[in-house]
Chain A
Amino acid sequence: MIPRHLADYLESSAARCPERIAVVDSNGSVTYSELNRQADALAAFLAARGVTHGDRVGVVLPKSIPAVVALFGIMKAGAAYVPVDHTAPAERGQRILTDCQISALIVDARCLGVIPEQHGTSTALCAVVAVGAASDVPALGNRMTSFDGALQSGDGFTIRERSTGDLAYILYTSGSTGMPKGVMLTHENALSFVEWCSSVFEPTENDRFSSHAPFHFDLSVLDIYVAIKHGAALYLISEDLGKSPKDLARFIAVNQLTVWYSTPSILTLLLQFGNLEAHKVPDLRLVLFAGEVFPVKHLRELQRRWPSPAYYNLYGPTETNVCTFAKIPSQVPDDREVPYPIGFACSHCASLVLDDERCEVAAGDEGLLYISGPSTFRGYWNRPAENAAAFLERSGVRWYNTGDLVRWDPDDGFIYAGRKDRMVKRRGYRIELGEIERALYSHPRLREVAVISVPDPDAGVKIVAYLSCHEGDRPSIIDLKTFCGTRLPAYMNPDRFMFEARLPRTSTDKVDYLALKNSFLTPAAV
C-alpha cells in the first residue's frame, strides 16, 4: 500500500506486527496494536467532541506514550497537531495556540496555563484532554476531560477521508517580529522525507530508535515516523534523562539502541560527561546529527569512543525537513579542522544557489540555497507577507529560500557559509534575535535593547544583550534573566547582559550592531 497519511504507517505496522513493542517511555511500553487502539479511541473522542478535518489541536505534553497517542489520535481525527514546548513559558505557548486557533488541546495537567483565553466563538475549545490529575478550569466547564476518560469514552472510530495534501502538523519557530511563526507541513511533506530515510538508512523492525528531540522540534519527525513505519521500537528520552549524560550513555547501552539522532550539542555532552568508555554500544549502527555545525575535534573524539556506527550530517530547515546530507568518513582524519559539509541534495529534493538578483552563482561562489520538492512546506500559518517573501516561482516550480548561504564543491557538495539576516542556530534551535529584543523591550526599566550573537567555542554561539536604562534605574541581572525566563524558552535567554549609557548608532540612527559585536569581541580596543 502506498502511504497517503502518517497514520497509515501505524496502522500497517499494527496489522503486520501487533505484538511488537512500538514505544518505550520511563513508565513502560506499548505494543503496536495497543498504540493503534488508543490512537483510534482518542480520534473517536475528538471527533465526537467536534474536532473536524483541517482543525488544529494543541499538544503540550512531556515525551511520553500518551504524547505519541495524542499525535496519532489527532491526525486520525483529520486534524493537524501543534506541539508546544511544555517547559517554555506558558504565555508563549498561549500565544502560539491562540495564533493557530486550536479547536482542542491535549495538555499535561501541570501546564493548564497555556489554555488560550476563552471568550468568543473564535477562541472556543471543543475539548481539553488533561494528562495527569488536573484542577478544574471553570471557564471550560464540562469540556475538560481526563486522558483516560477520553480513551474510555472514545469508541466507534471510523477512518476519515485522507489526502496527502492535508495538514499533518504545525511547528512554531522563532519569529523576527517577536511572535513565533507556524510552519505548516502536510502529510505529503512528511511522507516524502520518511520514505527518503527508509531508502538511505534501511531500517528494520529490529531497530531501536532513540527519540531525544522534543516533539516541537523537527528532528522528532524522523524518530517517530521512520521507527513506526518499520515496526521498530521508539525509545523516548525524558527531559530529566536528557540532562544527565552519564545516565543517558548507560540508557543507550542498556537498551541496545541501534539508531541515534540528535543535535551535535547533545553528542558533545555525551562525549564530555557521559563516561562513554564504561558503556559500550556494539548495537549502535547509525549516528545521525543535524541542526548545527558539529566541531570536528568533538566528532573525531566521538568516533574513537563509538567506532562502529555510520555517521551522517543531515541538514535542513523546519520548512523542508532534511534536504541535504553528507556521510562522514568512518575515521575523521587527525589533521582535519574544517567542519564537514552539509553535502548533497536528498533524492526527493532539488536545489538552486542564487545571488541577491536571483541569478545562479558559479560553482564555488557563495549564494543563497533554495530548495524545492515534495517535502517543502505549504507556508507559514496566517503570514501572507512572509509566505510571499519565502518562495520563488520559477518555471512552475516553487522554490523555498532557506536564507542559508552556501558554496558548491563538486567533491563535498554544499558547504554551509552562514546567514545574512539575524537568525542564529543554538543547540539546533532557530533563534531570531529580534524576538529576544521584543521581549526585553517590554521590561519597564529598559530604554534601549540590542541583542547580538558572538561565536563561542563551547556553546557554538553566545547571545549577548546590550541595554541602556532609564536614569539610575538599572535592573539586576537576575531580574533580567527571570524576566526573559517568563517570556522566552530557556535556549533564548541571553548569556550576557551588558549595560551602556547609550547604544551606539549608525549615521542613519539605527543601532550599530557591528560596533557592539566588535566591542564585545575586542573590549580592550574600545
Chain B
Amino acid sequence: MNDVKETIRQFILSAHLPGESPDNLKDDTPLQTSGILDSLATLGLIQFVQEQFHVELDVYDTSVERFDRIQDIAASVARKRAVGAHPS
C-alpha cells in the first residue's frame, strides 16, 4: 500500500508539480477539488495508475469522491487487486 502511494506521489510531483517538495504532497492532500489536477491531468493519472498497477478503473472508481486523494486512489488499487486475485 505504501509503495503504491509513493509511486502515485512521485508521478504527480514530476508530471504536475515540478519543483514542489515531496513533503508538501500528503496522502490526504485534495487533488481534483483543490485545483492541483484538472480534468486532463486527472485522466493522465488514471491512465498511469491503470498501467502501473495493472488494474481497470471505471467511472465509479474515478469519480471525484474516490479519486481526490492519494490515500483514496491507493485504496481503490488495493480493492481492485483483491477482486482480481479472488474472482467471485
The 25 sampled A-B contact pairs (Cβ below 8 Å) are A240-B64, A242-B39, A243-B39, A243-B46, A244-B46, A244-B58, A273-B47, A427-B40, A459-B40, A476-B20, A477-B24, A478-B17, A478-B24, A478-B34, A481-B34, A481-B35, A482-B30, A482-B34, A482-B35, A485-B35, A485-B36, A490-B38, A491-B38, A493-B38, A497-B19
The number of residue pairs between A and B whose CB atoms lie closer than 8 Å in the complex comes to: 66
CA distance A520 to B18 in the complex (A): 14
Q: Does B76 contact A (CB under 8 A)?
A: no
* Contact in complex: B40, A477 (CB < 8 Å): no
* Contacting residues, chain B, for A476 (C-beta < 8 A): 20-21, 24
Return the chain A residue nearest B47 by Cβ: A273
The answer to whether residues A243 and B38 also contact, given A477-B19, A478-B20, A497-B19 and a CB cut-off of 8 A, is: no
Q: Does B63 contact A (CB under 8 A)?
A: yes
Q: Does B42 contact A (CB under 8 A)?
A: yes
* Main SS class of interface, A: helix
**Interface 1/0s, chain B 29-72, versus A by CB < 8 A?**
11001111011101100110000000000110011100000000
CA distance A496 to B25 in the complex (A): 16
**Interface 1/0s, chain A 462-489, versus B by CB < 8 A?**
0000000000000011110110111010
Taking A478-B17, A485-B35, A490-B38 as known contacts, 4 extra A-B pairs with beta carbons closer than 8 A to each other, sorted by chain A number, are A240-B62, A243-B62, A273-B47, A427-B40
Expressed in whole angstroms, the minimum distance between the Cβ of B66 and any Cβ of chain A is 11
Return the chain B residue nearest A458 by Cβ: B40
* Contact in complex: B59, A484 (CB < 8 Å): no
CA distance A240 to B40 in the complex (A): 12
Q: Does A85 contact B (CB under 8 A)?
A: no
Expressed in whole angstroms, the minimum distance between the Cβ of B61 and any Cβ of chain A is 9
Return the chain B residue nearest A484 by Cβ: B35
**Interface 1/0s, chain A 176-218, versus B by CB < 8 A?**
0000000000000000000000000000000000000000000
Q: Does A241 contact B (CB under 8 A)?
A: yes
CA distance A239 to B33 in the complex (A): 14
Q: Does A247 contact B (CB under 8 A)?
A: yes
Expressed in whole angstroms, the minimum distance between the Cβ of A132 and any Cβ of chain B is 15
Segment 11-26 of B: residues with Cβ below 8 Å from A? 16-21, 24-25
The answer to whether residues A478 and B19 also contact, given A242-B39, A485-B36 and a CB cut-off of 8 A, is: no
**Interface 1/0s, chain A 234-246, versus B by CB < 8 A?**
0000011111110
Q: Does A265 contact B (CB under 8 A)?
A: yes
Expressed in whole angstroms, the minimum distance between the Cβ of A397 and any Cβ of chain B is 41
Give the B-binding residues of A (Cβ under 8 A).
Answer: 239-245, 247, 265, 269, 273, 427, 459, 476-479, 481-482, 484-486, 488, 490-491, 493, 495-497
Return the chain B residue nearest A89 by Cβ: B35
CA distance A269 to B41 in the complex (A): 12
Return the chain A residue nearest B26 by Cβ: A478
Give the A-binding residues of B (Cβ under 8 A).
Answer: 16-21, 24-25, 29-30, 33-36, 38-40, 42-43, 46-47, 58-59, 62-64
* Contacting residues, chain A, for B21 (C-beta < 8 A): 476
Expressed in whole angstroms, the minimum distance between the Cβ of B12 and any Cβ of chain A is 10
Indicate the member of A243, A247, A482 with the most B CB atoms within 10 Å. A243
* Contact in complex: A478, B29 (CB < 8 Å): yes
* Contacting residues, chain B, for A240 (C-beta < 8 A): 59, 62-64
Which of B19, B35, B46 interacts with A493 by CB under 8 Å? Answer: B35
Expressed in whole angstroms, the minimum distance between the Cβ of B35 and any Cβ of chain A is 2
* Contacting residues, chain A, for B33 (C-beta < 8 A): 485
Return the chain A residue nearest B58 by Cβ: A247
Expressed in whole angstroms, the minimum distance between the Cβ of B41 and any Cβ of chain A is 9
CA distance A241 to B21 in the complex (A): 33
CA distance A498 to B27 in the complex (A): 25
Return the chain A residue nearest B56 by Cβ: A246
* Contacting residues, chain A, for B36 (C-beta < 8 A): 478, 481-482, 485
Return the chain B residue nearest A494 by Cβ: B35
Return the chain A residue nearest B67 by Cβ: A243
CA distance A476 to B25 in the complex (A): 10
* Contact in complex: A477, B34 (CB < 8 Å): no
CA distance A427 to B18 in the complex (A): 22
Closest 3 CB pairs of A and B: A485-B35, A490-B38, A477-B20
Expressed in whole angstroms, the minimum distance between the Cβ of A269 and any Cβ of chain B is 6
Return the chain A residue nearest B34 by Cβ: A482
CA distance A427 to B40 in the complex (A): 10
Which of B43, B63, B64 interacts with A273 by CB under 8 Å? Answer: B43
* Contact in complex: A241, B38 (CB < 8 Å): no
Expressed in whole angstroms, the minimum distance between the Cβ of A278 and any Cβ of chain B is 13
CA distance A253 to B34 in the complex (A): 34
* Contacting residues, chain B, for A427 (C-beta < 8 A): 40
Indicate the member of B18, B21, B38, B47 with the most A CB atoms within 10 Å. B38
CA distance A485 to B17 in the complex (A): 14
CA distance A245 to B50 in the complex (A): 13
Which of A239, A242, A459, A486 interacts with B35 by CB under 8 Å? Answer: A486
* Contacting residues, chain A, for B40 (C-beta < 8 A): 265, 269, 427, 459
Expressed in whole angstroms, the minimum distance between the Cβ of A254 and any Cβ of chain B is 14
Which of A243, A486, A493, A497 interacts with B42 by CB under 8 Å? Answer: A243
CA distance A415 to B21 in the complex (A): 44
* Contacting residues, chain A, for B29 (C-beta < 8 A): 478
* Contacting residues, chain A, for B30 (C-beta < 8 A): 482
* Contacting residues, chain A, for B43 (C-beta < 8 A): 243, 245, 269, 273
* Contact in complex: A481, B17 (CB < 8 Å): yes
Expressed in whole angstroms, the minimum distance between the Cβ of B64 and any Cβ of chain A is 8
* Contacting residues, chain A, for B62 (C-beta < 8 A): 240, 243-244
